[in-house]
Structure 1
Amino acid sequence: MTGGFATIAGSVMAAYINFGVSAIHLFWDECESVATLIGLKTVINEFVAYQELGEMIKLNNLSKRAQLISTYALCGFSNFGSIGIQLGGLGSMAPERKADLSSMALRAMIAGSISCFMTACIAGLLVADNACTQC
């Protein structure tokens, strides 16, 4: 459930936080799996989450619709590692504004997560249930 990282309890906690978000346009029994993927993306990074998604697809644990929606939900750099990249990159360009940048970093990550969720919701609205048989 944690992508091979048994000691990382933060991804499990993030999965339960994201459980309500993943309920949009998904079957109820798939919400925990997609919430776990979103938690992995937030705590570790999107590459580990996509790797775990690939394993779920191989094991046929997700429907085609859940695969499509979770692909859009995972697409983005809204994770804790990206906060460090943002502060390092922008802080070197404007060293006198590092305090301002660090005060906005967590809010920027949350805004990035919301934009990924909105994209996934729109994809779920635009794709009909029977259209995913051809995905």
Structure 2
Amino acid sequence: MEVYQYANGAYLPASSQPSNTIDFEIKTKKYTPHESVRYMNVYVGSNGIAKRANSTGSLIDCEKNLPVLYEKRESCCGCTACFAICPVQAISMLPDEEGFLYPVVDAEKCIRCYKCISVCAFKKDQKEKGYLE
């Protein structure tokens, strides 16, 4: 079952996708971390950026890219701050293959306000230390 996508619309490998037998797989599967933010419902527009739904539900092109909440899992503690601040409920906290909750951005719902990035404690800390611009 392919659900999670990269921002360019490509699907993550099957090992990073959910399955109906997740409990069995968590106990038997070798650890294979994903390197990128997970997205859902990514439809790339003519400008190469993921589309979003307008007020009538039609998909429209966007000028802004999807927010990158984390690039590696160690850069996210699963605190749900991004989930809580999202004004359009475009972020879901879903378990990875080990059962830890991480944010998943629904590209259709995301309005690219970037409130999720501004509230992220990890990003603030990394900026203060000079690791991020």
What TM-score bracket applies, with the shorter chain setting the length?
Answer: under 0.3
Task: Work out which of the two has the higher radius of gyration on C-alpha atoms and give 1 or 2.
Answer: 1
* Structure number with higher strand proportion: 2
Normalised to the residue count of structure 1, the TM-score between the two structures is 0.25
Q: Normalization by structure 2: what TM-score?
A: 0.25
